[in-house]
Chains A and B, each alone.
Chain A
């Protein structure tokens, strides 16, 4: 189980908070989708989990391990895919995957089986011996994904993993994630593609200006809103208003009230 308790992160020493007192629990075997407008703080949150950004406040605990107190133990069980596949582009795909497999200590047999399978799934077998520099954007994304999957970590942290993938790869990728979770693994990923999130995720969280404004299964969200809507409508409603809200009232409600007030002021 991944627990974020009161996580906050500021890039300007506390003037504004990219992530603001975030509390989240993600259960083992769960696929959790992290949604939010641009600049909401998704990437920042993911980076604090994988050890790239020390949070200014709060703790992040994975299966009882505080990821900032025992980084190595945690890292052995976590894989990360960044939002732009910025990897050693002067290595070949195979060299990069080998490096990752080496540092995660993947044994020879598993390494071979997984690699063959992943290369086949993502149709990268032919390109793997080439320099990553010569890859297209999507191919880079794929090799970075393969590298993230090859250690078969307990927790996969993926920042917009499907942007840039072709439909076939997206389809196979979704199957991979399901499989990963069936085997007890956890997936925490951010995305902007709502219908993927809707169909793939066990639960979703929506973040706006660093604060979690909604979190739960699709069912729960719908029930809260008392409407049988799609995630897209939900998302649009939730993230629409500009008003600041407390955690008990949702953004959209506050927004509506704000607009009504304005209207009534204008009427007068």
Chain B
């Protein structure tokens, strides 16, 4: 037991960097503003999230009481927590049990494997509490207060809450230990990460297609009615049937008397069983799975061991070619980098393809492509796609970060930082061109005019120059070099966020410009040339910025993880003992710009996403004397061709926009009408369909019937 506690203590310190934090903030009292700022931010964000969650739970609770299902929120909390533990536990357990570097130290020590395993499990459990408690505590409190629960409830609920993560972790643990025992995966962290990524990707696609399915159908009312007719808390058991232990835990709290006891017993039993199972399996299989040869497959080119073949393999190349080839090899030989890039590079075109060939959108696209306008927008759109693709794949924005601990090589080789950055730019452009050509091959048979594809491809590569140079410049300023797992370098790199925000702003301005040119009656060839010239100029500017920043690369410290691995800001020294750091705006930007910009981007994103949500709540339809106004749309009555009144919004599909609850905003395919704009604050309310010459709008104002009459009268009067 003592060894167990010591081990657990060490793990916790290592995992959460407690010793480092203690050393820095308590012992040396350095940078004390950091923990305070973090705390303030944590409290702020936590407060927002919590109030949001509480409100949600509160209304859920009210609904569930009306439906005679008061225990619902407790169950929902439990289910959510256990599901999350199950999914994330898998990732967490694998990395902590098998791929953590301390195992090489621990295994040779005279400590029984169960203790190591137990301490590691303890670490995972404690980490999981960080998600379980915030998720389950609020519903437990709300239920307890509102239902005026007894003493037993208050005593039992914290215990059950703390036991919650054990069961899913036990199950996940058994699965993983067995998997590792009977496969060689324990020695292939990269392979496992790729598999997990694929699983995650599968889940994402499944969830989005399911939600798309419900989007178009909605929940069938009969089914809900049938669910509810089964007496108090019946819904609970139906929902909980998917994962019974959560149900038992919840029922132990919300059912009266003996039933609660039975459920509690079941809950405890199954939890204990899963732990015992894990214990048993681990005793017999943990080390077997762990140990054994960690063979790296040798790259088969044995023939190259003769002098002649070698000569071909090492023939001289121009420096730029050598650097570009290095970029390529470093991405393609690292499964994580390769997968991350491939996901973003291949999957959007793939989804596009699936979306286009499924259903009737193919015909629609063909129609669209036949329009004269499409030549312009198709070309520009395709060019944008070609340019943005490598950016989304985070290829340029992590180009330096990816080098990680090996960045020292870039620092000692006799190649100017500018040239090294240029190589990264060229590499990005090559990727853009290759994937762009691939997309053209897919899209041309589907209706993209060949001319638009050809011009779009060239234009896209021009578009890509400033975007890529800007991304590389950001990574030059704030590379993330001290990563351990490659995911941190690429997906988990906040430079992506910064870059996407910058590019989104730029794209917005340029689209506006293109729209303006088009409105002013410019010829298509003029607009395209103008765009090309604008981007060329931007490209020159962005490359200039990138070049200006290039020398910063020499200031990075890429070796060793720890304080030495931080960036040394350009420090100026005065004579005498201590270093003086010269503070200037530039230094501040260099040090804190990344955090500030990331923060701003996240806030911006939150506002952007939240805006729709708020709009859904506060959406107003304004009926003026001779117009209707909603969101950013104004329709003068004289433009109306036809108005229809419907009992509710017809089923919608192929969403391009937002749908939260019953709120719908965006462009949809509306059953029986066609494709048009829907701005409905509640799709179950009576709806007005406003047809104009350009298309139709569906809105759901209060008292739609009266509005309908009003509009009809006014338009008739106008017609006379």
Using a CB–CB cutoff of 8 Å, the interface residues on chain A facing chain B are 10-15, 47, 50-54, 56-57, 71-72, 75-76, 78-80, 82, 86-88, 90-92, 94-95, 97-108, 111-112, 115-116, 119, 125-126, 128-131, 133-134
Contact = CB atoms under 8 A, between A and B. Distances in A.
28 contacts: A10-B579, A14-B579, A15-B578, A51-B411, A52-B411, A53-B557, A54-B555, A56-B573, A57-B573, A72-B415, A76-B414, A78-B412, A80-B412, A86-B408, A88-B329, A88-B330, A94-B304, A99-B322, A103-B323, A103-B413, A103-B414, A115-B310, A115-B314, A116-B307, A116-B310, A129-B302, A129-B313, A131-B299
Q: Which 10 A-B pairs have the closest CB atoms?
A: A102-B322, A90-B333, A75-B414, A14-B579, A14-B578, A76-B414, A129-B304, A98-B314, A134-B296, A129-B301
A128 B559 contact: no
B200 interface: no
B301 A52 contact: no
Contact of A134 (B298, B311, B319, B322): B298
Contact of A72 (B298, B414, B559, B579): B414
Contacts of A133: 296
B563 A12 contact: yes
A5 B333 CA distance: 43
B316 A52 contact: no
B430 interface: no
Nearest to A82: B408
A115 B310 CA distance: 9
A101 B314 contact: yes
Given A87-B406, A98-B322, A103-B319, 12 more contacts: A15-B578, A52-B408, A56-B573, A72-B415, A86-B405, A86-B408, A88-B409, A101-B314, A105-B316, A111-B316, A115-B310, A134-B297
Nearest to B308: A112
A168 to B, nearest CB: 20
A111 B314 contact: yes
Contacts of B568: 54
A111 B298 CA distance: 25
B563 A52 contact: no
B316 A51 contact: no
Given A82-B559, A129-B304, A129-B305, A50 B296 contact: no
A5 to B, nearest CB: 14
A99 B408 contact: no
Q: Taking each of A82, A103, A105, which has the highest tally of chain B beta carbons within 10 Å of its own beta carbon?
A: A103
A146 to B, nearest CB: 11
A102 B316 contact: yes
A51 B554 contact: yes
A98 B325 CA distance: 11
A131 B296 contact: yes
A145 B314 CA distance: 17
Contacts of B313: 94-95, 98, 129
A209 B92 CA distance: 42
A101 B409 contact: no
Contacts of A107: 316
Contacts of B564: 11
B315 interface: yes
A13 B563 CA distance: 11
Contact of A104 (B299, B307, B413, B578): B413
A80 B412 CA distance: 7
B315 A105 contact: no
B421 to A, nearest CB: 14
B615 interface: no
Nearest to A120: B307
A193 B447 CA distance: 72
A75 B412 contact: yes
Interface in B308-359: 310-311, 313-319, 321-323, 325-326, 329-330, 333-334
Contacts of B298: 130-131, 134
B412 A92 contact: no
B328 to A, nearest CB: 11
B586 to A, nearest CB: 17
Contacts of A79: 412
B445 interface: no
Contact of A100 (B315, B321, B413): B413
